[in-house]
Amino acid sequence: MSEVTIYHNPRCSKSRQTLALLEANGVTPNIVLYLENPPDAAALKHILTLLKLTPGDLLRTRESAYEALNLGNPARSDDELIAAMLANPILIERPIVVKGSRAAIGRPPEQALEIL
């Protein structure tokens, strides 16, 4: 198993570009299709810690579920935002690349190379 993991959505161009960039740099990552196999709450909290982000920072605000669930409401707690991402993994920003104690969002894709 690879020491690098990518939380990947093959329908996302940035996710595909990040995966291709990793592979072009000799990295064969463990690919997690997070829409089909979302992380659990503990894993998502760990990823947030590695990214040094809040749950609100990891939300995809242009997804219809964001508006439908009123996730922009500042009264929403971190736990509520995490629960929303777990129930609707499309809300999780992508791609996320994790290597050991470091993580990066591949936006732009080259950002993922910084943790290798």
Task: Give the residues across from 23 on adjacent strands.
Answer: none
Which positions are catalytic? 12
Count of the separate structural domains present in the chain:
1
Per-residue pLDDT tens digits for 10-27: 999 999 999 999 999 999
For 108, the domain range is 1-34+94-116
Residue 60 included in any domain: no
Predicted TM-score (pTM) of the model is 0.94
CB count within 10 Å of CB 21 equals: 18
Q: Residue 74 belongs to what H/E stretch?
A: none
Q: Are 96 and 51 in contact (CB under 8 A)?
A: yes
Cα radius of gyration (the chain) = 14
CATH of the domain at 109: 3.40.30.10
Per-residue pLDDT tens digits for 54-107: 999 999 999 999 999 999 999 999 999 999 999 999 999 999 999 999 999 999
Structure tokens given for 41: 């709450």
Residue 99 included in any domain: yes
